[in-house]
Amino acid sequence: MNNQLIILATKLKKFNKSYIQKKHRIVTNKTVHNSSFLFFTFFLREKSFENSPYRNLLINYFKKAEYYYPGSSYFVSVYISNLILNGKLDNKEKIKTEKNINVIFNYLSTISNKKSFELFKNILYFSGADATITCESSKNTELIVEKKCKPNFKASLDSDFSPIFFSNQKETTKDFIVSIVDGFIERESEIFSLFELSKKEKLPAILICRGISENAKRNIKQMILKNKTYVYPYVLKFDNNDPFLIKDLAKSCNTEIVSSEFFDNIYKDLEEKTNIVKITASINSLTFHEKSEELIKEINLQIKKENIDFETKKYLQKRKRRASPNNVIVRIPNNMHDLLQELKSLIKCYNYCALRGIYVFKDETKMPVQCSESSTNLAKSLFKNIKNIGYTVKIKYNESV
């Protein structure tokens, strides 16, 4: 076992050195790819580890490392080889932890090629603060960066209606008649007017309420299937942690809430308090294609109030992000797959660096806190497991004798 471990550590050390010296390449369509995020890929392709008894164990740990921080499987490999050969990780002395944007950019520029890094920086500047960046493959011939503001609200379609509306699709985008009831639907007769309006306007309807009785659900389903008038019932139960959810939904729809608070009668007032809105509906959410300027203005005024406590301000900011999200879509041509993976890794690294910071060592080298801690912990765990591995000898007797 000791000999096998020494052989493993020696091979890893040699492989790590060749990786740092950029001796590994991936060539596709006459294009050479080399990246700081490809160590795990190169390891999987390395033939010298194919027959190693530790290969599968290494793969499992390297895979975990990549999940915790892109490219950190290399450091796990370095640390485990040091532990086997020297009995220590050989960690450097830390001076400070930095979260400065210039320090982060400086570090990221050293682990990416110039073209990818400049594109990444431009996308960040274009996106602005609090942006959600999504990179996806595209059939387009050019790279497209698009900013969208589509408010998304978590709301659950009653499970009894999922097979009717979403058996063959994940979502649907249409103009819907929207009705919001801050109450429980006891009888289907209470929402007859919504069915009549849907039939008259030749449009599907979305009913948002606090709940529906089993008897009402049964009859509503029959009405939908018989009359082919489609009403999507979404249940929005009251949440102490998000008390303004239904009000924010109503503002985004530019409609009023049917509520006993205003002495409303569901049957009489439901049709009057509706609006036609373009919505992307799915089983668990409703996405609007336009934001409500009135709602955002209202939230901003509350945020600016003096003596507002921390938790209230935090909740107001959550409502603002929901009502006016900053979503950026980066569509990358199919033949630029390497750029797609590079950008995804850079975005993930940037998020970890901004959140947890970067260690600056005595020799002036830098390493993200997330990468350093996850790599160290995984290497220690891997070393412990490797030392505890034993062999089992299985003897098979010839039963025919």
What is the tens place of the pLDDT at every residue in 89-137?
A: 877 788 899 999 999 999 999 999 888 999 999 999 998 877 889 899 9
The mean per-residue pLDDT over the stretch 26-31 comes to 66
Helix pair angle (245-253, 293-303), 10° resolution: 140
Least confident of 23-27, 310-314, 367-371, 375-379: 23-27
What is the tens place of the pLDDT at every residue in 328-382?
A: 999 999 888 888 999 999 999 999 999 999 999 988 889 999 999 999 999 999 9
The answer to whether the CB of 184 falls within 8 A of the CB of 209 is yes
Give pairs for 27-31: CB < 8 Å, separation 24+.
28/338, 29/335, 31/338
Tell me if the domain spanning 100-149+326-351 has CATH number 3.30.260: yes
The answer to whether the CB of 181 falls within 8 A of the CB of 209 is yes
For residue 200, the SS3 value is helix
- Tally helices (H) and strands (E) across the chain: 15, 18
For residue 335, the SS3 value is helix
Tell me if the domain spanning 153-287 has CATH number 3.30.1330.60: no
| Topology agreement, domain 100-149+326-351 and domain 153-287 | no
Structure letter (DSSP) for residue 50: T
Asked whether the predicted pLDDT for residue 401 surpasses 50, the reply is: no
**Per-domain residue ranges for the chain?**
2-97+362-387, 100-149+326-351, 153-287
Q: How far apart are CA 355 and CA 121, in angstroms?
A: 17
In the structure, what pLDDT confidence band is assigned to residue 309 with cuts at 50, 70 and 90?
A: confident
Asked whether the predicted pLDDT for residue 392 surpasses 60, the reply is: no
Give the per-residue pLDDT at 294: 93
The mean per-residue pLDDT over the stretch 187-197 comes to 91
Across the strands, what pairs with 180? 208, 257
What is the tens place of the pLDDT at every residue in 203-227?
A: 999 999 999 999 999 999 999 988 8
- Whole-prediction pTM value? 0.72
